[in-house]
Amino acid sequence: SYMFVTALIQGIRASLRKTDLKQRQATDPLVREDFDHFTKVEFILDQGQKCKFKDYAPAVFRQLRQMFGVDDESYLNSVGQQEGLSEISTQETGSKSGQKFLISHDGRYFMKTTTASEARFFMKVLPDYYRHMKDYRSSLLCRFFGLHRIKPGKMHLLIMGNIFDTERIIHQRFDLKGSTVGRSVSEAERKKPTVILKDLDFLDEHKNMKIGPERKNILITQVRADCCFLQFLG
| Segments of the chain assigned to CATH 3.30.800.10 | 2-161
Contact, 53 vs 41, CB < 8 A?
yes
Number of H helices, E strands in the chain: 10, 7
pLDDT value for 11: 86
Is 25 a residue whose pLDDT tops 80?
no
pLDDT value for 95: 54
Query: pLDDT tens for residues 29-75?
Result: 899 999 999 999 888 877 788 889 999 999 999 999 999 999 888 99
Other C-beta atoms closer than 10 Å to the C-beta of 104 total: 21
- Give the pLDDT mean for 184-190: 89
- Give the pLDDT mean for 121-133: 97
Candidate CATH numbers 3.40.50.2000, 3.30.800.10, 3.30.360.10, 3.10.129.10; the one for domain 2-161: 3.30.800.10
Query: pLDDT tens for residues 133-169?
Result: 999 999 999 999 999 999 877 889 999 999 888 888 8
- Give the pLDDT mean for 98-103: 81
Contact, 53 vs 10, CB < 8 A?
yes
Question: What is the value of pTM for the model shown?
Answer: 0.85
Residue at 210: amino acid letter: K
Q: What percent of the chain has pLDDT over 70?
A: 90
